[in-house]
Copies of this chain bind each other. A is one copy, B any other.
Amino acid sequence: MPQPLQTAVAGATGYAGFELARLLSHHPRLAKPLLFTREASAAGELADFYPQISGNGKLRVYPFHWQTLSDRGVELLFLATPHETSRTWAPEALNRGLRVIDLSGAWRLKEEAQRAVYGLPELRGGQIAKSKLIANPGCYATSIIVALAPLLAADVIDRDSGIVCDSKSGVSGAGKQPTETTHFVEVADNLSAYGVFTHRHLGEILEQLQLKDDELTFTPHLLPIPRGILSTIYVRLRQPATSADIESIYASAYSEKPWVRLFGTRLPQIRYSLHTNFCDVGFNLSADGKRMVIVSCLDNLMKGAAGQAVQNMNLMFGWEEREGLS
């Protein structure tokens, strides 16, 4: 057995950071991860922030210092920090010889990120293995790109009539900071659309799928549930297709991919993917085979954030993609 890898998480007390801390602390290839808050004041036991993990051994959270990272021999740094923080900390970490997986949106777009690889393992497995800096994809973006990429590659979609992506997310996607938007009374018994034509995940979706601005419309919604995403995706096909045609396209792309589950013409539901790293994909065709509705589900804190970050780490270090995620 080789020496276990020393990892660190900056931002370990946020929702995605906590999920990541939990995954890393059980990963068979790793030393106990070093956990950091962004602020000096908030240090303590992780179980003080998240009592659900008490009784499972100690995980301390420290104020972030570069010196601590070098003292403790950290080789891989996960940034579960706001975009602004990631934009300065990622280059600094690279300069210090660390590898970086950034969960923020700071490095996902090409103009910002010559040195970064967009870390969607099902699409960019090869590049990820060689990368020093991985931009972990957005949660909405993952659910949409996984569903559409094989169909676009197979050129079956009529792009001219436009693709519609109607996505719905649980509240943890909005982060741990209390705001009016995340107040229980505003969210419960409700549904709301937001960020229409302007959501920041739109850019990475278009770029990764090589679509023009007006070829895809994306509307996110806030669901009254703690976690999970469901995207309902509408496309028109260039030629009438059968379910077998579509199943075959998806199978070619994903039958060897452990973290995509193909539901065929059954439709996945949010709760099937909760607390797992799966992205689930199903579809229905219209009777004439010319229109298709695709439903794609995932857990926004797992395949949409922390789980995918671990999957990226596995690829980066040449480990089996499932390790630490089952």
CB of A95 closer than 8 Å to a CB of B = no
**Contact indicator A271/B183 (Cβ below 8 Å):** no
Residues in B with CB closer than 8 Å to A182 are: 178, 183-185
**Contact indicator B293/A52 (Cβ below 8 Å):** no
Residues in B with CB closer than 8 Å to A278 are: 55
Q: How far is the CA of A81 from the CA of B257 in the complex (A)?
A: 38
The residue from B52, B178, B276, B284 contacting A273, defined by CB atoms under 8 A apart? B52
Q: How far is the CB of A9 from chain B (nearest CB, A)?
A: 19
Q: How far is the CA of A92 from the CA of B32 in the complex (A)?
A: 50
The residue from B54, B183, B263, B267 contacting A176, defined by CB atoms under 8 A apart? B183
Interface residues of A in 181-237 (CB under 8 A from B): 182-185, 187-194, 196-197, 214, 217, 219, 221, 223-228, 230, 232, 234, 236
**Contacts A52-B272, A55-B278; is A185 near B172 (CB within 8 Å)?**
yes
Q: By the criterion of a CB under 8 Å from any partner CB, how many residues of chain A are at the interface?
A: 70
CB of A114 closer than 8 Å to a CB of B = no
In the complex formed, the residue of B with least CB distance to A166 is B166
CB of A2 closer than 8 Å to a CB of B = no
Interface residues of A (CB under 8 A from B): 15, 51-52, 54-56, 160-162, 164, 166, 168, 171-172, 176, 178-180, 182-185, 187-194, 196-197, 214, 217, 219, 221, 223-228, 230, 232, 234, 236, 261, 263, 266-276, 278, 284-288, 290-291, 293, 295, 326
Q: How far is the CB of A201 from chain B (nearest CB, A)?
A: 16
**Contact indicator A192/B224 (Cβ below 8 Å):** no
Residue contacts A-B, CB under 8 angstroms, 11 given: A51-B266, A52-B276, A162-B162, A162-B236, A171-B183, A189-B226, A191-B270, A193-B232, A217-B234, A219-B293, A221-B232
Q: How far is the CB of A172 from chain B (nearest CB, A)?
A: 5
In the complex formed, the residue of B with least CB distance to A230 is B191
Q: How far is the CA of A245 from the CA of B212 in the complex (A)?
A: 26
Question: 20 new A-B pairs (CB below 8 Å) besides A178-B178, A182-B183?
Answer: A51-B269, A51-B272, A52-B276, A160-B161, A162-B236, A164-B164, A164-B166, A168-B168, A168-B221, A178-B182, A188-B225, A188-B226, A189-B228, A190-B270, A192-B269, A197-B286, A197-B287, A214-B290, A221-B230, A224-B224
**Contact indicator A275/B272 (Cβ below 8 Å):** no
Q: How far is the CA of A197 from the CA of B273 in the complex (A)?
A: 24
Q: How far is the CA of A287 from the CA of B194 in the complex (A)?
A: 16
Residues in B with CB closer than 8 Å to A183 are: 171, 176, 178, 182-184
The residue from B178, B196, B226, B284 contacting A267, defined by CB atoms under 8 A apart? B196
Q: How far is the CA of A196 from the CA of B166 in the complex (A)?
A: 14
**Contact indicator A193/B293 (Cβ below 8 Å):** yes
Q: How far is the CB of A189 from chain B (nearest CB, A)?
A: 5
Q: Which has the most chain B C-beta neighbours within 10 Å: A160, A161, A271, A285?
A: A271
**Contact indicator B190/A291 (Cβ below 8 Å):** no
